[in-house]
Structure 1
């Protein structure tokens, strides 16, 4: 295991921000830390980075205490963004790389590569304060990994990005993974976690509700999401055995079942022995599971 969080608690006087948290991250994987605001994600990141002490518990990287490792092995994109407003883009990237012990001549190839990949070539001499929010975020992201860290923490990296820039960021994260970087990130946008993560930890008020693979989490619920296209009414669908909830879309219905065993009977009724245009049974999305785990849903 690359990173091991073992029974970690962080207490601020009478407030417990993280409570007996444990999870493990394999080398070279992407791991998601998921939870609402105040769930303890950023506190956990700061303890991993040794910016805050644990109240109890142990954090280790490759078998060594997090307190004793070379800090340049780590990269961090904080949720609270902060780059130098009057410093040109290119200079920022060299500055942060040199701050992490890299020589300017060794940084040149990577600086040029990421400026081009993130479509910042016409902005390289521009002051950061003149950039759009999306471009500022791209600069900060590059700065977090320009020194090629072994372990990268990204706190809400997709916040405020348009779809095109989100795709650029996702491609970059996957490229870093392919090159062996271990990545831990948080996001309120569950589709990003679902698309990128090998494993995840679901937090609620500092407590882990689940830690493991996304598929294992989905299997806890089974295939209970049924999407169909039919002439039947909502009332008729709600009256079917095993149907907990019916949501009407523009051209189809989404049914939540008590369990997947009811699907065959529903198929027979809806198709009535003939053709049915759409009938798709699947696991719940991470977003649906998150809402159910954290509270308040029809799942």
Structure 2
């Protein structure tokens, strides 16, 4: 057997199993179109691997073929840009599914696919759905929705999720920037009163001895204005630190016609939490506190 082919075959068998040494398997040479040692190795003696080859091998033979014979990128093609999303999202088991809108900007108006990865938490997004491409009414950019309904097995856990957009089509393969967010899954709500379908906190910031909070609520469908107002009068916002300590006293919220609310709570520097957890009609939400003191309450 040709020495060069032996070296390449050894590489393929070793990377397939994520090892550094293995017996040679010549049947891997022809499918990948490898022509010599230095296609994949750093030297003609077969020492070391070229950057990227081990990652390519994780995609099996197709991944190695693409590494060895990359599809040419069309002249003038630019990477798609995935726009930022909120840093943190909350979802409740048994409640409304989480929906994260993902907007993509691409100078050539290429079609694209959304990749979802959870690098530090395994794969919590089993059952998640990526919608068909739509058009965002405000920006007129393409948008797809990441939709996920967690189960009881996901409750009381926080997951890190990475999103990327990748071009599709002949000569189009560029990958966008990575957008990272976290998702906290709360257990099924226990309260029987369910005037509110969803409760959100958009921002928490400490400034001038005040904790300033903004968020929104979504009412259960079918409620009249009178029923909404009556519900709000009997509801209080409860605040805790990440470890469960109570922050301040229960607060009543004023919600405008669109469901948005704001609250400014007097709070000394020594009592400011690093992360604030909020509970409203049995629904939970959390947020890191922006501009918190250097030493904050865990």
> TM-score normalized by structure 2?
0.24
> Which structure has the highest strand share of the two?
2
> Which structure has the highest helix share of the two?
1
> TM-score normalized by structure 1?
0.24
Which has more radius of gyration? 2
